[in-house]
Amino acid sequence: MFWRFSKNYLPTKVNLYNTRFAITTTCSLCAVDLETVDHIMFCSFSTNVLSQLGITVILPLLEQSWIMWFSNLFDQFDEMKRVLLVVSVWAIWSYRNNKLHNQAFQAVMDLVRFIRSYVWELTSIAKKNVPNSSALCPRWSPPSGDTIKINFDASFIA
């Protein structure tokens, strides 16, 4: 998603309008401005979510690419703020899609709670010492003789 974000390949309303797929170009989140990649990151809804999470983002310079802007942010932030930023951008974009396509509404604080919960879950998983899956299962070897062995990646019959 960040690659698409940095290359302006996200299907924002302005991009969809330019390719004749959308009728309106108004932002799905704030309903005030044109919905562009630039605007989504800095619209009132997004900045409110980010500020509730303790993240302050400054508009990139005109000559600065999005990749450089994200890189500079990552250099400034500690690991937890990096995770919060990435999850926040993903959650805001997901909420935008859900609101646009399913007419779902979510208050800023609900989205902030979701992001915090998601980040907590991610960090909890990262702290656990999950053994390597190859250490749990022996490597497959072909059977000897006239035996046929079939392996499945998931359950075949419950």
pLDDT of residue 99 exceeding 70, the answer is: yes
pLDDT tens, position by position, 43-96: 899 999 999 999 887 777 767 676 777 788 888 889 899 999 889 989 998 998
**Residue-level pLDDT at 106:** 87
pLDDT digits (tens, 9 = 90+) for 21-48: 767 888 888 888 888 877 887 889 999 9
**Residue 51 covered by a domain:** yes
- Greater confidence, 7 or 89? 89
How much of the chain, in percent, has pLDDT values that exceed 90?
Answer: 20
Please tell me the total count of domains within the chain.
Answer: 1
Answer with the residue of higher pLDDT: 119 or 73: 119
Mean pLDDT of the chain: 81
Q: Is residue 152 part of a domain?
A: no
pLDDT number for residue 157: 60
Whether residue 21 is contained in a domain is answered as yes
Residue 87 lies in a domain: yes
**Does residue 150 sit within a domain?**
no
Taking residue 43's Cβ as centre, other Cβ atoms within 10 Å add up to 23
Tell me the chain's radius of gyration from C-alpha atoms: 22
In a domain? residue 142: no
What confidence category does residue 7 fall into, taking pLDDT thresholds of 50, 70 and 90? Answer: low
Host domain of residue 74? 2-136
The residues pairing with 26 across neighbouring beta strands, listed in sequence order, are: 34
What phi and psi values does residue 130 have, to the nearest 5 degrees?
Answer: -85, 120
Distances, alpha carbon 104 to alpha carbons 13, 20, 28, in Å: 17, 25, 11
Q: Is residue 61 included in any domain, yes or no?
A: yes
Mean of pLDDT values over 89-109: 89
Is 31 within a domain? yes
Give the three-class secondary structure for 34: strand
